[in-house]
Each structure stands twice: as C-alpha cells, then as structure tokens.
Amino acid sequence: MRLKTGLSCFFMIMALQLVLAQVADDCLNAVPICNNTPVNGGTSGYGIDDFNNAPSSGCLEPTVTGFIESNSAWYRFRTGASGQLGFNIGFDTSEDWDFALYKAADCSSLGDPIRCNFFDNSDNDAFAGVGEDPSGNTGNVQYEDWIQVAPGEDYYLLINNFSNSNSGFSIQFSGQIFVSNPFDALDCSIINNLLGAPIAACDNENVILDATSTDAVAYTWYSDTGAGYNVIAGETGPTLTVTNSAMYRVQVTTSIPPNIISEVQVAFSVAPTTNPVMDEAVCVDTGIYDLSQKDGEALGAQDPAAHLVSYHSSLADATNSLNALPKQYSVNAGTDTIYIRISSVENPRCFDASQQFTLQGVVTPILTFDDEVFICENTSGVPIGELFPNSQYTYTWDSGETTPGLMVTLPGDYTLTVSNNTAGLNCAASRTITVIVSETPSITEVIIDDLKPVNTIEIVTDVQGTFEYQLDTGPFQSSPIFNDVIPGMHTVTITDLLGCGSVTETIIVVGFPTFLTPNGDGSNDYWQIYGIDTLEDPIVQIYDRYGKLLAELDDNNLGWDGTYNGLPLPSSDYWFKLTFLDNNGQRILAKYINNHFSLRR
C-alpha cells in the first residue's frame, strides 16, 4: 500500500457498465444526489479540465492524462440535517480509484477538498471513502475521517479512476445522520422538479414522464430499481412511457450549461381483479347478512391483507368509493343488487368494481294466530292454527297433519310449523298452541261471615276457570265475594269469560250456631236458624245420623232443646234441612248450607 509514485494502468474493460451508468465528467453538470440509495457509475474520460491545468487539488496529483482527472465522475449533494456523515465507494479490488470532497456552493469556488484520498490500491481493497470500511477493515488507508455536517451545506464529490479503463463503482452514504433523519438527511430540493411529484400508479395503466424543455439539445433517460441509475437504451425523446416501478431520472442537455437533471419516483401497485361471486338468499327473520362472507369469493387467490373489499348499493358508489354498506347488512324482503369494490391497500386508486351479486331476502312466515285456545266441555271441538293460510307456504303439525288448521276436542299442546320454501331456503316459523278445556261453573258452598243485618258472603266453586260473578241484578264483578248482603233468598250468576256458558243458582243467606248445650244455664240452650223470617213459610227439619226425623221447626219456634218426645238425646252430631216456598209457591230445599251441628252435654 503506497501513494502513487508512478502511473499505473489497468486494462479491464466493462463496456456495458460504462454505457448504462449515468456519469457527469464535468463539475458544472455534477449529478445531484438526494437519497441514500446506491449510486452506480462508470467513468470514461474527463471532459474538460475542471482544475484548469493545476498541478494538484489537495492530495490529488496528475494522472496518465497529465491532468488531475483521468476518468472522472462529479456528484453534488446538500445536507438536510445535522450529524455525522460518510460514504463508501465500492469497486473491483483490482482497480485504483481516488476521491476528493469539496465543501462549496458551485464549481467556480471549489477550494481545497475537506477530505481527499490518493493512495493506490496495492492491498486490493474493495472500498474507499469517508468514515468506516463496511467490510470491517480498520487498516484500509483509502478511508478518511467522518465529517460533521449541518443543514443546508453544499458539497461536490469527485471520483476519479487513476487508470484509463475501469469496470465502474457504486456509492452508498453512511453515518449517524441517516439513522436520526432517514428521509431528509440529504436535501432533495437540489433536484430539478421538471418531472414533478412522485407518482403512484396501477399496473394496468401507463405513465408518461414529460421533460420537454426549451434550449434542449438532447435527452437521456435513466432508471434505478435499487442498484443505481442506468441509461434506458433507445430513449432520447422529451417524454418517456414507463410501466415498471423505479426511480426515473432525465438529463436534459441544454445549449447553455449547466444541464438539467430531474428525477421522480414511479410506484406501480397491482390492480386487483374481482372474481365472479354467487348470488345469495337469506331468510329475512335472521335480520342481518354478513357481507364479509363474500370477501374470499371475490378475492380468490389475492392476498386479503393487501386488499380492501367494500360493498355498495350502486355501481356509481362502488366506482367512486362512496357510501360503503355496513358488513353487517340489514336484509329486507325482496332482492337487492350489491356491487363489489376491491381496492389495493397500497394504492386505493387501483381498484376493480366490475362484479355484483343479488341478495334475496326470503320472508319467514309471521304467525299471528292465538297460542292459547279454550274449549268448552261437551262441545264438538274448536278450530286452531292458521285460519287464513298463504298458498305459497307449507303447513306441518307435530302430529303429522299438513293442513293450516285443525279441529280439536282434547286439551293439550299442538305445534304448527309454517315454511316458505323459496330460492332453495326453508324459512320456517313454529308456534305451539295450548288448548285448555273450560268447565261450566257450579256453586259448591256459600260462606257467610256471621249472620248480621248486613253480611259478607263468598261464593265457592270447585271448577278452575276465569269467571265473573253477579248477585241478584247487581253488576258483574271478578271477585266471588259480595259485601252488604241482607239475610234471605238471593240469586247468584257465574259466567265463564271464555265463553263456556253461565249458571244461576238460588242461595239462602242464613246463620246458625255450630253447637248447643241444653244444660239450663241460659247460654246455647236452644239451637235455631237465624234469618229464616225473611223466607216464605220456612221449615227446619232435624235428623240424627241415621236419618230419623227428630224435630221440625218454623220461624215461630224458640229452637230445638236437644230432646225427642221429651227425652234428652245424647251428645252427637245432628243434621238439618231448610225448605221454603219460592216465588212460584213451590217448596224448595236451601242448598249450599253446611247443614250439621253438635249437641254437647
């Protein structure tokens, strides 16, 4: 490893690289750099002598040409942030490359370089530059110290091949500045905006870049897919039609230098394709249809993570990405047409809205017939089920019948299922009807709350049902208890509210003691019925347990003293009957009276 003391020549020729790489061999047309992607170049000559026949520039000395430059490439950049900056120049290990970095605003005031390296490459290293050798070779003498930069500083970089032939080089920037400011470490404002802003396009469309400029002599187009800018062969016009994602650069050679250099990024996203989808039908009673069920069908093999599927009620909405339907879609009876839009997540401009499907809402039968039906005992039956059937529906009972309605005579549960079989669906609803037998009411007992001038009575029936009650000609009431009832004969009417008839009975409101103690103490010495004076010709007959008539009383008697033919009867239970004349003069038996009492001695 040594400084150059003589002229060395390398004769490896890589013509392809020299043809494809963009190189500015004069400082005036230095290629602007505004990002940290690799820059590839291959030099061939030096154009004009940028150093005006000077014997040196910093560490640089004359080469085989007799000038400082032999095969030169000039670049310029402007810093956009503060920090540590460096760069790596990569090349074939058999070649000899030199560089000089100038902090200057233009080529007319370069001054001395702030970093410079003129060592030969006798150690066959693969890199030269500022900062650190990326291969980890700390002994590489072709590296200079890092530089500390501030925003807005302009730099020119000369890369020169000491040979008269070469296979090209690459530049990759480095340093802390690209960690803290990965997107604006270098200022892109030095790039001419001739080609405009970055372009996001779809792979089914062409993009035309227009670099038309006045005073243009020639146009040279370049593309960079990540390994540096290369000339696009055959493209020498003011416009370029592109179909691939890349960085594109144009160099407009003008009649008066400097040349114009502009670049733009064009990114193509894959335009999705919507696959045909099947029509759907759903029972309306479910209420909701999950439209996302159609995503996989519409996408096919396309990556669901890279695409957005939306659904719309019109083609115009799908095309313009407006009014997307909720994925939990409310289904209505009838047929809806649903339009599908698939767009690229990467670039929503890339979309397809060419497919649609119909969503048919099939009505589930609505059952309105009663689920509780009452049937009167001893009747011929009652109809249950759907009395106004729909001819498009089918009807099935759990007992096997297939008619909309049944005539039933027995109590129990009967289940009817009504089905709408449309579009391959069975939209069904079921309802269980409970049939209850309602019995005709009857009176089993009349409970009197102690006989008084005005009494409370309760009508007791042993039949379960829904009844209303009437005393004499008074109003009907739901309660079987009547207040303010005077002693005597009354009529009670019980009506079944379910329509199973009514019954009217005559009751007697009277009272009597439950025992007698004929011991002469003046208390309960006689047994009698109170209130019979309100009846017409009442007669009370008293019997023993064997049905033997012991005594007969009317409303003029003090009562029974517990004797038969003047002889005292033993302690026991005794029974009685009360009869009276009704309004027609017929003698009738008073019913619903608890007709026994006790004799105690």
| CA neighbor of 195 nearest in space, from 129, 249, 139 | 249
The angle at the Cα of 457, spanning 456 to 463, to the nearest 5 degrees, equals 150
At 367-379, the pLDDT tens digits run: 999 999 888 877 7
The predicted structure's pLDDT at residue 102: 98
Pairing outcome for strands 246-254 and 260-269? antiparallel
Question: Do 60 and 186 sit in the same domain of this protein?
Answer: yes
Question: Do 235 and 150 sit in the same domain of this protein?
Answer: no
The predicted structure's pLDDT at residue 381: 85
Determine the Cα–Cα distance for residues 404 and 414; give it in Å rounded to an integer: 12
Residues contacting residue 287 through CB under 8 Å, at least 6 positions apart: 330, 331
Question: Do 40 and 114 sit in the same domain of this protein?
Answer: yes
**Total domains present in the chain:** 6
The predicted structure's pLDDT at residue 533: 84
- Two tokens, residue 178: 């690209």
Residue 169 lies in a domain: yes
Determine the Cα–Cα distance for residues 134 and 138; give it in Å rounded to an integer: 9
pLDDT-based confidence at residue 188 (cuts at 50, 70, 90): confident
Question: Do 38 and 130 sit in the same domain of this protein?
Answer: yes
Among 170, 190, 210, the domain-final residue is: 190
Question: Do 307 and 208 sit in the same domain of this protein?
Answer: no
The predicted structure's pLDDT at residue 360: 94
The predicted structure's pLDDT at residue 17: 33
Residue 494: strand, helix, or coil = strand
Determine the Cα–Cα distance for residues 147 and 56; give it in Å rounded to an integer: 22
Are the beta carbons of 282 and 305 closer than 8 angstroms? no
Question: Do 185 and 225 sit in the same domain of this protein?
Answer: no
For position 421, which CATH number holds?
2.60.40
For position 176, which CATH number holds?
2.60.120.380
Burial of 541 (0-12, 13-18, 19+ CB in 10 A): middle
- Two tokens, residue 333: 């009876």
Average pLDDT over residues 257-286: 90
The predicted structure's pLDDT at residue 133: 93
Question: Do 43 and 115 sit in the same domain of this protein?
Answer: yes
Question: Do 103 and 223 sit in the same domain of this protein?
Answer: no
pLDDT-based confidence at residue 21 (cuts at 50, 70, 90): low
The predicted structure's pLDDT at residue 8: 33
The predicted structure's pLDDT at residue 12: 26
Is pLDDT at 5 greater than 70 in this prediction?
no
Q: Which domain holds residue 34?
A: 15-190
pLDDT-based confidence at residue 36 (cuts at 50, 70, 90): low
Length of the chain, in residues: 601
Residue 148 lies in a domain: yes
Is pLDDT at 405 greater than 70 in this prediction?
yes
Is pLDDT at 37 greater than 60 in this prediction?
no
Residue 308 lies in a domain: yes
Is pLDDT at 204 greater than 80 in this prediction?
yes
CA atoms within 13 A on the CB side of 539: 11
**In three state form, how does the secondary structure of 4-29 look?**
CCCCCCCCCCCHHHHHHECCCCCHHH
At 415-441, the pLDDT tens digits run: 999 999 988 889 999 999 999 888 778
| CA neighbor of 131 nearest in space, from 93, 167, 87 | 87
19 phi and psi angles, rounded to 5 deg:
-75, -40
Residue 403 lies in a domain: yes
pLDDT-based confidence at residue 19 (cuts at 50, 70, 90): very low
Among 438, 454, 480, the domain-final residue is: 438
Question: Do 521 and 547 sit in the same domain of this protein?
Answer: yes
For position 243, which CATH number holds?
2.60.40.10
Question: Do 197 and 166 sit in the same domain of this protein?
Answer: no
Determine the Cα–Cα distance for residues 423 and 421; give it in Å rounded to an integer: 7
Average pLDDT over residues 472-487: 93
Residue 96 lies in a domain: yes
Q: DSSP for 403-435?
A: SSEEEE-S-EEEEEEEEEEETTEEEEEEEEEEE
Residue 257 lies in a domain: yes
pLDDT-based confidence at residue 7 (cuts at 50, 70, 90): very low
Residue 337 lies in a domain: yes
Question: Do 197 and 182 sit in the same domain of this protein?
Answer: no
At 523-571, the pLDDT tens digits run: 999 998 888 888 899 999 999 999 999 999 988 888 999 999 999 999 9
Average pLDDT over residues 277-290: 90
Among 402, 420, 438, the domain-final residue is: 438
Pairing outcome for strands 467-471 and 488-496? antiparallel
Question: Do 31 and 164 sit in the same domain of this protein?
Answer: yes
Residues contacting residue 554 through CB under 8 Å, at least 6 positions apart: 537, 538, 539, 540
Q: DSSP for 507-565?
A: EEE-B--SEE--SSSSSS-SB--BTGGGSEEEEEEEE-TT--EEEEE-TTS--B-SEET
Helices first, then strands: H and E counts in the chain: 4, 44
Q: What's the chain's average pLDDT?
A: 89
Determine the Cα–Cα distance for residues 44 and 21; give it in Å rounded to an integer: 11
The predicted structure's pLDDT at residue 176: 94
The predicted structure's pLDDT at residue 512: 85
The predicted structure's pLDDT at residue 13: 25
Determine the Cα–Cα distance for residues 41 and 73; give it in Å rounded to an integer: 8
Residue 10 lies in a domain: no
At 338-349, the pLDDT tens digits run: 999 999 988 888
Per-residue CA distances from 197 to 189, 192, 194, 248 (Å):
12, 11, 9, 12
